[in-house]
Every structure is written in C-alpha cells, then in structure tokens.
Amino acid sequence: MATILAIDDSGLMQAFWVRILSRSQHTVVTVSSGDEMRAALTTLHPQLIFLDLSFPGENGFELLQQLRGYSQCLDIPVIAVSGYAGEDTRQACREAGFTDFLAKPFSLAELRSILTRYIENLTQLRALTR
C-alpha cells in the first residue's frame, strides 16, 4: 500500500498512527520533531503526511513550508491535524497550503475518508497512467 509519515510530538498519537494505519497494510513512519522529520526525508518518499500543528519550538505551519522544500514532498497531500478546529485555524491551514484538515478527536470514519480521498484515489490514478 502506501508509505505514510505522521509528524506528532505526542507518543500516544504516534502509537495510534502506527496501530491504526498498519491495519490497512500501510507503512507508517512517525517522527516527533522537525529535526526528525528532516532526517527521515533524506530517504523517505511518503505518499501521505499527517502533520500536527502544535510543537515545542516549531509549529506545523513552519514544518509545512520546510516539507514543501523537499522535491519528493512538493505534490504530496499534507493533512493538518489539530485539536483547535475553529474556522480561523481551518482557514489558516488552507491559506498555508495544507491539503486538508483533520480535527482531533476524529472518528475512524473521518480517517478512512482521508485515506480514501488521498491514497486510494492516487493508487487508481497511477494504475490508469501505466
């Protein structure tokens, strides 16, 4: 299936991403900081990225701009993940260039919808262009 990068400083959320996404046969890589993200992207080519907005030191908006500096991440869907789900936050995410927004706490149905929209559709598109 797909390689998914989850960037979140919460160990609990990292364990969640691995447990849930691995069930769908995805390869999941979790990192907890901008430094770990930059190190991982020297070899990793994810098909989808989940990025928490709140980090000590750097925030998700800064990390998004850094992600877009990597050639393998230019067109990769980056999903903002946050417990701050107000319209102001959502609008700021759209303006910053996030592909979509996932509000914490989210349901498995919401997560499945994101996976379908961005991974399964990508897989189908790749099959058509071969």
Task: Read off the pLDDT of residues 42-59 as tens digits, 9 standing for 90 and up.
Answer: 999 999 999 999 988 899
Asked whether the predicted pLDDT for residue 61 surpasses 90, the reply is: yes
**What CA–CA distances, in Å, run from 112 to 3, 9, 43, 88, 94?**
15, 22, 27, 25, 21
Please report, rounded to a whole number, the percentage of residues in the chain having pLDDT higher than 70. Answer: 92
The pLDDT, as a whole number, for residue 24 is 86
121 pLDDT band, cuts 50/70/90, is low
pTM confidence score? 0.92
- Residue ranges of alpha helices (H) inside 77-117 are 87-96, 108-115
Architecture of the domain delimited by 3-128? 3-Layer(aba) Sandwich (3.40)
